[in-house]
Chains A and B, each alone.
Chain A
Amino acid sequence: DTGVSQNPRHKITKRGQNVTFRCDPISEHNRLYWYRQTLGQGPEFLTYFQNEAQLEKSRLLSDRFSAERPKGSFSTLEIQRTEQGDSAMYLCASSPWTSGSGGNYNEQFFGPGTRLTVL
């Protein structure tokens, strides 16, 4: 399977614990996005990378959240001191992008997500 993969698919944790999720994008895609989605809502932007550089973070992203993409390939999203309000589906997506695209966003390919439940 050459699509976007995410691990784990499900995570149950107790409030106050730290969790880390991994996303492996499509290999030739240089842009990687993280989203959070709760029931009945669309994906909410968290952050995105171009190669290894984190270019933007949502203002909604608290300092308990951190993301990395150290080698410009896979990415990790860590949530420290989890709260019950962090319970959601965390989606990763990747897309190709070149400077010739004129700044237009290219289609994103989403992974299956990691469902986090904080007890």
Chain B
Amino acid sequence: GQQVMQIPQYQHVQEGEDFTTYCNSSTTLSNIQWYKQRPGGHPVFLIQLVKSGEVKKQKRLTFQFGEAKKNSSLHITATQTTDVGTYFCVNDYKLSFGAGTTVTVRA
């Protein structure tokens, strides 16, 4: 396996705006999972994507898995202060979680 690369590492967002974080891999992924960790908290599972081109929505969060299964994205619309935290994309736990994308929100 190969650790996925996630960009950006930091995202400062004005409340109400949208943003996207991306995960990229040079190899085809069997699946990808997304987690969120609030400041001072522990990672919480958000979603798993398995199928090529898969799109899943959770309220204001939209998750996509690329057609080639080499990339994934998380798009958040109308950012709220509750979206603050670090978002991780993970393929192989043995490769650890990486640094994720840390999101801060300006009210």
| Chain A residues close to B by CB (< 8 Å) | 33, 35, 40-45, 48, 56, 58, 91, 93, 103-113
Contact = CB atoms under 8 A, between A and B. Distances in A.
A103 B29 CA distance: 13
B96 A45 contact: yes
Contacts of A43: 43, 96-97
Given A104-B30, A105-B33, A105-B93, A42 B44 contact: no
A105 B31 contact: yes
Contacts of A48: 93-94
B93 A108 contact: yes
B98 A45 contact: no
Nearest to B91: A105
Contacts, number: 51
A42 B94 contact: no
Interface of B: 30-31, 33, 42-45, 48, 50, 86, 88, 92-100
15 contacts: A33-B93, A42-B96, A42-B97, A42-B99, A43-B96, A45-B93, A45-B94, A48-B93, A105-B31, A105-B92, A110-B42, A110-B43, A110-B44, A111-B42, A113-B42
Where chain B touches its partner, the secondary structure class is: loop
Given A43-B97, A107-B45, 15 more contacts: A42-B88, A42-B100, A43-B96, A45-B93, A48-B94, A56-B94, A91-B43, A104-B48, A105-B31, A105-B33, A105-B92, A107-B33, A110-B42, A111-B42, A112-B42
A105 B29 CA distance: 12
Nearest to B97: A42
A103 B98 contact: no
Where chain A touches its partner, the secondary structure class is: loop
B54 to A, nearest CB: 13
Given A107-B48, A110-B44, A113-B42, A45 B33 contact: no
Going nearest first, the 9 A-B pairs with the smallest beta carbon separation are A42-B97, A107-B45, A110-B42, A44-B96, A43-B97, A45-B96, A110-B43, A42-B98, A104-B31
